[in-house]
Every structure is written in structure tokens, then in C-alpha cells.
Structure 1
């Protein structure tokens, strides 16, 4: 069983497809026998992901700093909730408990977490695969920007190729599982 760290919004966004994709991903992870580690909230897309994963019989670990437990409304029905002191510990704990990373639509926190995990991979601190779930083209502008950074010589093509992307949970999991050797 592999554990997937998923970064995503604690809000639902304006398009119902984002919430639906979070729920579909949770069910797909569980049906494939994977575990989930995420930010630990019970609201927004985070809650939908955790709820769908648990409804399908999956194991879910949330990681949340003490100062966010009340603000983000910590999910109390998880397999395990790890409380940490700060955001740095949260990201380190999530990374330590995972075998791969996925980012769904989200805001600046989601992007910051994704880019830190990708930077750690680039620096050789881990060799875990990373992927974007590009629901309704949410990440298309970012992917275009990243391709542009390659064209201008600020990002190596191999590093860019390490960030996988797909528009469906099943397709993204297929690609990530292949990188994991499953």
C-alpha cells in the first residue's frame, strides 16, 4: 500500500467539478488500496476528499498545526490526526508519511506545498513522484508558465517532466503508480 499526500483547498471553489474531483480521487485511492495523508480539515475540498476516502474504507491521516485546529475545523473522524506545532512541521510530517504527492485545485497554500515538495525532489531530498490533477484546466496556465520557464532556460526539461499532470483522478493515479513501480 502506498500513501499519497494530497494538497488541496480548504474551500470548495466556485465550480462543483472541483469538489467532485476531490471526492472521486478519495474513492479511487481507497479502491486501489492506497492510504491518504492531507492537511486534516473537515471543510471544503479537504473534507470531501477525506470523507470519500473513509466512506470507501480507506485509511486517512490528517496533519494540522495546533493553531489551525479550530480555524480549519479539524476532521475528528479520521483514522489518525497528527497535531504539530507549526506549518513547517506539518509539511515535513506530511512528506515523511507519503510515497507520492498530488495537488488538486487550491490557493496559495496548495501551491506553496506543491512547490516545496517539488523543490525537495529537485534537490535530491526525496525521489517521490508528484502530480497535478488538472480539473477543468485549472492548472493549464501554470503548466504553460512552467513550459515557458523551460524555453527560457530557467527550468530543466527533466525537472519539468517530473511534475506529472492529468485531468482525471484515474489517469493521474495510473501515471503516479507507474512511477512508483506498482
Structure 2
């Protein structure tokens, strides 16, 4: 009898609640005969426990072994990633308003000091004075005609740069901060995969 062929692609990451009993269908996409794929999707692959903490890495070899233990007459063609990172999402604790205000205040003061120190380093006040003198011919130690619109422009520029105003997004283009966070998450996922594989290799007899 000819063996059934299914194409299996592991998901890059899967978020699950604690104590979740994972099926292959939860972490993989399957293409093949409907009846065969349906059986494979319902095969148990892992049970998340408290000992797993926040992250679990499931390797494609474990998936293949689980499938063959239930269905011998099947051929598996793996496409795409060879590991899935399972992120266990525990209930988040609500941040008390006093802590929120304190954190917001510290970030506000820190950002203001950083901007002021930068302006002091590049002599922004002297630059405004020189520009004002060149344009008007008047030596003004406080050229508010330049400094006030510059201050508003600095704030508006930051909002446009990060592409957010509170929860409102101006367009679908990701902000530089989102791109950096994405790159950081990719590097973190890669580290988790490599670290997990090293631990599994060291634990073998």
C-alpha cells in the first residue's frame, strides 16, 4: 500500500494559555488528503506545565516521531521552520495608577533631560541666535521667533517619527521603534532555539 504524503510547516511562534494540551494542529499547517490531515492535526504533541515557565521549543523531529507513533504509513515533507516557539501567556497583573504615574514622570523627565543635554552639546541656542541675526540683523539673546516654532516642531516630528499618537496610528507603515523591536524579538527567538538545542544535546547520554 502506498504511503500518504502530507506537507508540514511549523509555525514560527504560538501563544498559548497555561496547562494547554498542544495538538499538532495548534503549531503546524498541513497540506494533504483531508482525512489524513485531520487525523494528524489531532495528535497530541505536548502538555504545557508550570515547569516550562514562559517558553517551550518544539522541534520538528519530535513532531515527526509523534506522527509516526500514531500513523506508520505516512510520508512527511517538512517545509519552512524546523522549530516552533511556544510562548506561555500568564494573566498579566494590572499596574497600579501610582506606579503608572511614577514611571510616566521618570520617562518624561529623562527624555526632557536628554533633549536639553543634546541641545547644549550642539550649542542650539547659539545657532538660533546666529540665524536670527543673519535674517533680521538684530542681535537677540532670546530669539523666541525661532525657538517657539522649533519646540513645537520637535514634538510634532517625534510623533510623526514614531507614527503614533497614544493608541492612534497614522498609517500602516511600521515605526523605527517597531522595526527595532521586531529585530530584537527575532534575535531573541533565535537565541532561545539555539540555547534549547544545546541543552537537549548536552542532556543526551
Q: TM-score, normalising length from structure 1?
A: 0.20
Instruction: Determine which structure has greater relative contact order: mean sequence separation of CA pairs < 8 Å that are 6+ residues apart, divided by chain length.
Output: 1
Relative to its length, the structure with more helix (as a share) is: 2
